[in-house]
Structure 1
Amino acid sequence: MKAIVTLLFILFIGFAAQAQENTAEVKVETTKKEIVTETSKENSVARLYRFKNSRIKKELSFKTKRSTAKLA
Structure 2
Amino acid sequence: MKTLVTFFFFFLISFAAQAQNNTPEVKVETAKKEVVAPAAEKESVARLYRFKNSRIKKELSFKTSRGSSKLA
What TM-score does the superposition give when structure 1 sets the normalisation length?
0.46
Whose relative contact order is higher, 1 or 2, with alpha carbons under 8 Å and at least 6 apart? 1
* TM-score between the two structures when normalised by the length of structure 2: 0.46
